[in-house]
A and B are shown apart, each in its own frame.
Chain A
């Protein structure tokens, strides 16, 4: 590969936003309450745009999800939020009731490791090994956390009042 500073091979950043805005939103929203997720989303793309001329990998989605994961951690630390206390009034005011709210609300009730595994593996589509690298875990542990998380999610969602 040639020098990473060569801008001639880079696609316009707007194309990155168009291609990956949705998956980054699902990651942010899967890890954070509505309003914090909005902040994390824009901070993710702002940070990515800042580094875009230096990024020389070919796995843009994984790179963005990594940034989003860190931004989500920053937000959680800054707010010192208790994860099970999310999805308060702002969510219900903005999003219509139904399956949409149910998934995010149910995700918020998972233990942190299961939540991260489900979000990064099932919502972002990362392989277990990549999720493990991201969360400082092992592929086997991520596989189990994702599997347990999905089972728990389904139980939570069927118990959820409609």
Chain B
């Protein structure tokens, strides 16, 4: 039996979760929300994490009803992410590990998403679409590693959505993507936008530029904000579903899983579901508790690493802003 605590703060979400052999004991989170039209910057985000981390930690411990003595391993996000927020949270994880005299493990954020998705949904060996504010990857497990089969060659899909929300000055609460999704539900007309798929890779910067340059004109020409949100979603999600389908076919896989913050978009899930039905595959998706960055996923992935015998020296418990999904050997997977 392994009880693990996980600290996550690679972007604007600060999360701490405790897990006991796959059983969720607590999963607490707070989000740094910026005013409409503005994004989150490293310095201010780190400040937010610093101001809130102890309160979230207390909540997570209280909610879990465990004694900190019983924790086996302290896990934190090693990367990828923004430097300052990562470092802030890593310092706290390092401190409590020493206070409580527990081993410390740095976890790859992307692996956290994947392993959390697998345990929540029960998918065995899925092809994975990982979509968030900073990452867009199509991933398949092969030769002991999560291989990136396709990915964005410029900005992440979530970044494209967030920045489009800024053009329209939409609220960043609870998240820009959520507000785009709600508006898109009322959209009726679809504007033709650039559609950019290269093999299994995708590109979103062209669509964003197109929108930046033309949104104002389109609004004057009779398209509504709802129409623009709808058009954007239809285009970028179609690109993601298309590359996912190609990866499914390439890897002869029958399971598809969506993880990451954009993964809780219901229209994306719906499109993916239709694609899966058409080819006899099964879709696995999770809701916002596990899709959006959280501490629990770090705890769970860390626990898996810990059980498989991985230990880290203090001097290796650093942070990495760039840390690829395929840089980690999945020692805990037996297939």
Verify that A and B bind, or say they do not: no
